[in-house]
Amino acid sequence: MQVRLTIGITAAFAVGVGTIAMWTTWQMQQILIDGNKQNIEQIAERLPGDVEVYSEMYSLEIGLQKAIANRTTGKTLVWVKRNDGANSVKNLVPSDKAAITLMSLMRSPLSTRVYEIGDRYFVVCGKFLQVKGQRLGLLFVAQDISYEQQMFSSLVRNLGIVSLIALIIITIAIAIYIKKSLQPLRRISQLAETISVNDLSQARLHLHRAPTEVKELARTCDMMLDRLSEAWEQQRQFVGNVSHELRTPLTIVQGYLQSVLKRETNLTPPQREALETAAMEAESTIRLLQDLLDLARADAGYLHIQIEPLVLNDLVIEVAAMAMQYRSRIITLETSHEQILVKADHSRLKQVLLNLIDNAVKYSDPHFAIALVLESKAESAIIHVCDRGLGIPLQQQHLIFERFYRVDEVRNRSTGGCGLGLSIVKTLVDSMGGSVTVRSTLGEGSTFTVTLPSAA
């Protein structure tokens, strides 16, 4: 837009200046010609009278010569092309080739016009010369305007150079002005491009030095951001409150169901199956509510994280044992004998690893083991959770950490879940000062890598 506006305004300006310059040039040329035209036409008008007067005293031939000599000056050339082809002219300098050429070119009467011969310019007019009813030949009067024309040409050249310089300066000034005027719009578009729910409450434009219309637009944007931020806050509070309110009664229901399943021995198989299904659904709903509650707390900045140095090897062994017991899957552990110390929240890190192992279980064949690999670097400790499952398409790998994002509803339908697990993982790992990434090949498997700051 900036380039287009600059080019458009400059082109309009160039056309305007060009038109004025051309019109001025044409006008000046006309004035130059008109001034000399009047002079030579007057001479042409009066010469027959002069010849008549002189011929009263002398012969017609001498009268003609005297009249020509009388009217000829340094710049005005008068000659008569006689009927026999000879020219009557006053002392023509033989070296004046331009004048000789001009004379040889003139053969018939002509209205006044400019002739360019070499680097010389002449305004010439020509008419029949009639004296006492006798046509003596063709009378030509030429005015040498080379000097004026040269002055005029150099004036036009200078005018062109000045116009060009003015055009360049004005183009630069216009470009700077347009750039400055569009700066606020660029800020608005940058803000719209980069804003996320996390900085919805702080991101504002606050434009002070901008055109009134742009300031108005910025104010409207700021007001819209205020409303969005308020709505987002309300929604966050609502989700937090609902999750909190539902979790407690559901936990009680699940507790009752578990105790009935454990204690009652006289249940019929269909009754037991129904109660088991109800207990499973209650458990997964409690997990979902817990995830929602965690996310709402993290968004509000109330997520409780207690960072302390802990031995990663022990924690991973504990998690692997738990996962093997509850998920009935083989989990292999690759770790060195040396102790790896990390700074993390014990229970939150367990939650992270269990979530990743849960996914590995859900999205891979039960025959394949899941591997937990520990690595220690200078300033960090790394945990890889590897499976040989479905894998994740490359173009979706950066999206799976977003809330409620699921790769493919068809493949996910049987696994349950609602796309919150990995966003919880990322939120927790981020708040422990670490990072989580994924490397995956479709049909071959995935490796989730958690990196945490070392406490060594």
Nearer to ligand ADP, 79 or 363 (CB): 363
Nearer to ligand ADP, 61 or 402 (CB): 402
83, with CB counted inside 10 A (0-12, 13-18, 19+), is exposed
Reference 361, options 390, 393, 383; nearest CA is: 390
At closest approach, how far in Å is the CB of 237 from ligand ADP?
A: 23
Q: By CB under 6 A, tell whether 55 contacts ligand ADP.
A: no
Q: Which stretch binds ligand ADP (CB under 6 A): 105-113, 142-150, 249-257, 382-390?
A: 382-390
Q: By CB under 6 A, tell whether 386 contacts ligand ADP.
A: no
Q: By CB under 6 A, tell whether 390 contacts ligand ADP.
A: yes
Q: Which stretch binds ligand ADP (CB under 6 A): 11-19, 159-167, 313-321, 384-392?
A: 384-392
At closest approach, how far in Å is the CB of 284 from ligand ADP?
A: 10
Nearer to ligand ADP, 219 or 297 (CB): 297
Number of H helices, E strands in the chain: 10, 12
At closest approach, how far in Å is the CB of 400 from ligand ADP?
A: 4
Pairing type for strands 370-376 and 331-334 reads parallel
At closest approach, how far in Å is the CB of 10 from ligand ADP?
A: 54
Q: By CB under 6 A, tell whether 446 contacts ligand ADP.
A: yes
At closest approach, how far in Å is the CB of 241 from ligand ADP?
A: 23
Q: By CB under 6 A, tell whether 295 contacts ligand ADP.
A: no
Instruction: Quickly tell me which residue has 């016009």 as its tokens.
Output: 113
At closest approach, how far in Å is the CB of 407 from ligand ADP?
A: 3
DSSP string across 193-254 = HH--GGGTTT------SS-HHHHHHHHHHHHHHHHHHHHHHHHHHHHHHHHHHHHHHHHHHH
Binding to ligand ADP in span 393-432, by CB under 6 A: 400, 405-407, 412, 417-423
Pairing type for strands 120-131 and 110-117 reads antiparallel
Q: By CB under 6 A, tell whether 106 contacts ligand ADP.
A: no
Q: How many CB atoms lie within 10 A of CB 136?
A: 20
Residues, the chain, total?
A: 456
Reference 80, options 137, 132, 135; nearest CA is: 137
Q: Which stretch binds ligand ADP (CB under 6 A): 36-44, 157-165, 240-248, 388-396?
A: 388-396
Per-state percent for the chain, helix, strand, coil, to nearest 5:
60, 20, 25
Q: By CB under 6 A, tell whether 389 contacts ligand ADP.
A: yes
**Residue 257 in contact with residue 278, Cβ under 8 Å?**
yes
Q: By CB under 6 A, tell whether 363 contacts ligand ADP.
A: yes
Reference 129, options 73, 180, 190, 71; nearest CA is: 71
How far does Cα 9 stand from its chain's mean position? 20
Q: By CB under 6 A, tell whether 184 contacts ligand ADP.
A: no
Q: By CB under 6 A, tell whether 359 contacts ligand ADP.
A: yes
At closest approach, how far in Å is the CB of 401 from ligand ADP?
A: 7
In three-state secondary structure terms, 125 is strand
* Cα–Cα distance for residue pair 323/100, rounded to 1 Å: 116
Residues near ligand ADP (CB under 6 A) are 359-360, 363, 387, 389-392, 400, 405-407, 412, 417-423, 446
